[in-house]
Amino acid sequence: MTNRSTARLRGLAVLLALAACLLLPRGALAHPHVWVVMKSELVYGPDGSVTGVRHAWTFDDMFSTYATQGLESKQKGVFTREELKDLAEVNVTSLKEYDFFTYAKLDGRTSPFKDPTDYWLEFKDSMLTLHFTLPLKTPAKAKGIDLEVYDPSYFVDFSFADGADPVALKNPPGACKVAVSKPTDGDATAKLQSLGEAAFGQDNARFGQLFANKVSVRCP
């Protein structure tokens, strides 16, 4: 079986597992099954317009091991970008249905994304990192940019990397300021208790948003 066929079958298996979890009672969805650590970059064009978001998502070691199991490589346990090419394609294709878990507003208006570009996978320290760029459908100049990253079903837990500058600005128009808000389990638990069990009978997007990672950019 070729790498492409193996990657596609594995991508299908991941989607089937996700679909099965979505059919479980709402209470069973109250914890994640995949963990992702992020670094992101907001990209500006030469005229100062926001053009898109560049992500680097590092998956947990268990998911990384599952995703690469059976893939052919010249060196055991080591994968090149070329060897992971087909798996990267499966990943970005699968994520499209979920809007890449990335939601943007420019000056308060929702701004959708186009299909990703420049996507590739990196395998380092036994973990996969998916690199990709999400171009905005309509680049625009904006003084306020608000970005949220989360999985509405909370099947995937997203968190920004620890340390300085988990979110960077590429060619910003002037002295823009970035503020990053990370969710905490304590805050989310308190909010869940305030919602009550009735919330699980509704659209679970409200539940997953409790764990949203938020980025606020303000430019003069």
pTM: 0.80
Q: What does the pLDDT read at residue 56?
A: 97
Phi and psi angles of residue 143, each rounded to the nearest 5 degrees, phi first: -85, -25
Q: How far is CA 170 from the centre of its chain?
A: 19
In 25-126, at which residue ranges do the beta strands (DSSP E only) sit?
34-44, 50-59, 102-106, 109-110, 117-124
Name the percent of the chain lying above pLDDT 90.
Answer: 52
Task: Find the mean pLDDT for residues 14-34.
Answer: 49
Helix count and strand count (H, E) for the chain: 5, 11
Task: Find the mean pLDDT for residues 62-71.
Answer: 87
| Residue spans per domain, the chain | 3-218
Give, as one character, the DSSP assignment of residue 72: -
Q: Is the pLDDT of residue 188 over 70?
A: no
Max CA pair span of the chain:
55
Q: List, as own/partner pairs, every contact residues 178-183 make where C-beta atoms lie below 8 angstroms and the sequence separation is at least 24, other chains included.
A: 178/42, 178/215, 178/216, 178/217, 179/215, 179/216, 179/217, 179/218, 180/213, 180/214, 180/215, 180/216, 181/213, 181/214, 181/215, 181/216, 182/213, 183/150, 183/159, 183/210, 183/211, 183/212, 183/213
Report, at the CATH architecture level, how domain 3-218 is classified.
Answer: Distorted Sandwich (2.70)
pLDDT digits (tens, 9 = 90+) for 140-169: 999 999 999 999 888 889 999 987 789 999
d(CA 112, CA 195): 29
Q: Is 31 exposed, middle or buried (0-12, 13-18, 19+ CB in 10 A)?
A: exposed
pLDDT digits (tens, 9 = 90+) for 42-53: 999 999 999 999
Q: Is the pLDDT of residue 206 over 70?
A: no
